[in-house]
Structure 1
Amino acid sequence: MTMTDEQQIRIDLAATFRIVAKLGMHEAVANHFSAAVSADGRKFLLNPKWKHFSTIKASDLILLDADDTEAKSRPDVDSTAWAIHGQLHKLAPHIRVAIHLHPIYATTIATLKDPTIRPIDQNTARYFNRVAVDDTYGGLADTESEGARLIGLLGNKSRLMMGNHGVMVTSGTIGEAFDDIYTMERACQVLVNAYATGQPLNVLSDDVAEKTAQDWEGIADFSIAHFEEMKRILDKEDPSYAH
Structure 2
Amino acid sequence: MTDRPNIDPQEWELRCDLAAAYRLFAHFGMDDLIFTHLSVRLPGKDHRFLLNPFGYLFDEITASSLIAVDPEGHAIEEIDEAKINNAGFTIHSAVHMAREDAQCVMHSHTTAGMAVAAQEQGLLPLNQMSMQFFGRTSYHDYEGIALDLDERERLVRDLGDNSAMILRHHGLLTTGRTVGDAFYEMYYLEQACRLQVAATQGGQKVVMPPDSVAEHTASQFESFEGKGRRPWAALKRRLDRQSPDYAT
TM-score (norm 2): 0.90
Contact 2:140 2:158 in 1 (8 A): yes
Deviation, 1:151, is: 2.0
The residue type paired with residue 140 of structure 2 is D
* Residue aligning to 1:80: 87
Query: 2:116 pairs with 109, 126, 144, which one?
Result: 109
Say what the alpha-carbon RMSD is for the aligned residues.
1.8
Contact 1:6 1:37 in 2 (8 A): yes
> Which structure 1 segments of 5+ residues have no match?
none
The reply to whether residue 62 of structure 1 matches residue 67 of structure 2 is yes
Change (3 A) 1:144 1:93: farther
- C-alpha distance in 2, partners of 1:86/1:179? 21
| Number of aligned residues | 238
Change (3 A) 1:222 1:162: same
Query: 2:20 pairs with 9, 15, 19, which one?
Result: 15
The reply to whether residue 128 of structure 1 matches residue 134 of structure 2 is yes
Identity of aligned residues (%): 31
TM-score (norm 1): 0.92
> Which structure 2 segments of 5+ residues have no match?
1-6
- C-alpha distance in 1, partners of 2:67/2:75? 10
- C-alpha distance in 2, partners of 1:53/1:28? 8
Deviation, 1:40, is: 3.0
The residue type paired with residue 29 of structure 2 is G
Query: 1:157 pairs with 162, 185, 201, which one?
Result: 162
Query: 2:98 pairs with 83, 91, 100, which one?
Result: 91
Per-residue CA deviations over 1:174-218 (Å, capped at 9, x if unaligned) read: 111111111111111111111111322211111111111111122
Contact 2:73 2:86 in 1 (8 A): no
- C-alpha distance in 2, partners of 1:12/1:220? 20
Contact 1:41 1:89 in 2 (8 A): no
Aligned pairs for 1:1-243 (under 5 A) are 3-40=8-45, 42-66=47-71, 68=72, 70-71=74-75, 76-115=83-122, 117-135=123-141, 137-243=142-248
Deviation, 1:134, is: 1.5
- C-alpha distance in 2, partners of 1:23/1:150? 27
Change (3 A) 1:40 1:94: farther
- C-alpha distance in 2, partners of 1:156/1:222? 18
1:99 aligns to what SS in structure 2? Answer: strand
Q: Which has the higher helix share?
A: 1
Contact 1:35 1:46 in 2 (8 A): yes
Deviation, 1:51, is: 1.1
- C-alpha distance in 1, partners of 2:46/2:117? 29
Change (3 A) 1:71 1:60: closer
Per-residue CA deviations over 1:4-34 (Å, capped at 9, x if unaligned) read: 1111110000000000101111011000011
